[in-house]
Structure 1
Amino acid sequence: MKSIEAKTMADRPVTEAALDTAIRRGQARHKGSFQVTTVSYVEPCLAVSFVDGSGLLLPVQHYPEFDGFEVEDFADLKVGFSGTAICHEGKDLHVSIAGMISASKPLMDMAASVIASRNGRQSSAAKAEAARANGRKGGRPRKPEITE
């Protein structure tokens, strides 16, 4: 049997410096992820608001997790798991907001378009050098015309 030694000791006392480091790491991780702040029911949709003030309307009919929910049940929905899930304690329901968004084809198409646009603006060293070389030659080479 292979023996593996633990890398950290659980019985080591927590110092103020270690606690401050852990808090800073948690805050940095929290800023880098999306975070929902509120969820409310605006019939027939769930209104989800993000930390920057933007929001989405997600039609509940597209999500079988909400089948059998009454209007009163929607009032008891809360944001949980550090702003990444919608929770209902009475029904023991925890639904990933990212999962709900990814289930919507139009939202995923829009996200893909935004990401492609953003990535297309990025320039690598090779792209920059090719642009300079083409500029020295008078611009991008023209494609040869095909005559038939």
Structure 2
Amino acid sequence: MKTISAKLQVDRPVTEEVLGEAIERGRLRHKSALQATAVTFQDGCLTIRFEDGAGLLLPVKLFPEFDGFEAEDFAALTVGFSGTALCNEEKDLHVSIAGLISASKPLMNMAASVISSRNGRQSSAAKAEAARANGKKGGRPRKVEVVQ
């Protein structure tokens, strides 16, 4: 798993504008981020539940962060950082849920497939205009083979 160091933040005076920008960034981040609501441990696996009722089962043997954890340590795991991390305050452990998911190759392959499928259905304004223009001409132009 990748370790990320905190970036040095330059102090900025808090104005109404800066506060408004921060609130908007928070709203956007909350909408797009994972929003876990619960975590449980059973039979060597963590079950992470999300806002929409979906869940994810992760075997802890795949993650070195949990080496040395006992049953009571797993019972003390909580969801923190607005639903984006698993935390155990006694062990001073804060693990990104996205990081846990990204460590699983099958989950990443599935995520890539879902994202590719979703992105393939998206249409930009330019693509939509080109499709309308081609439709007025009778559809997509046929490819003309150039004989040399």
TM-score by length of 1: 0.73
Distance 1:127 1:21 in 2: 34
CA deviation vs aligned residue, 1:92-115 (integer Å, no higher than 9, x gap): 211111100111111111111111
Q: Which runs of 5+ in 2 are unaligned?
A: 1-10
Partner of 2:58: 58
User: Do residues 138 (structure 1) and 138 (structure 2) align?
Assistant: yes
| Higher RCO (CA-CA < 8 Å; seq separation 6+) | 2
Query: How far has the Cα of 1:142 moved from its partner?
Result: 4.3
Distance 2:75 2:88 in 1: 9
Distance 1:54 1:28 in 2: 22
Distance 1:92 1:117 in 2: 39
Point out the more displaced range, 85-94 or 46-55.
Answer: 85-94
Q: Secondary structure at the match of 1:95?
A: strand
CA deviation vs aligned residue, 1:25-66 (integer Å, no higher than 9, x gap): 477243442211100002121000111111100111110111
Partner of 2:5: none
Please report the RMSD computed on the Cα atoms of aligned residues, expressed in angstroms.
2.9
Distance 1:26 1:125 in 2: 26
Decide whether aligned partners of structure 1 residues 27 and 126 sit closer, same or farther in structure 2, where only a CA change above 3 A counts: closer
Decide whether aligned partners of structure 1 residues 45 and 144 sit closer, same or farther in structure 2, where only a CA change above 3 A counts: farther
AA matched with 1:8: P
AA matched with 1:109: N
Q: Secondary structure at the match of 1:47?
A: strand
Partner of 1:72: 72
Partner of 2:27: 28
Distance 1:106 1:123 in 2: 28
Partner of 2:13: 8
Partner of 1:114: 114
AA matched with 1:28: R
Q: Which runs of 5+ in 1 are unaligned?
A: 1-5
TM-score by length of 2: 0.73
Counting aligned pairs with the same residue, the percent is 65
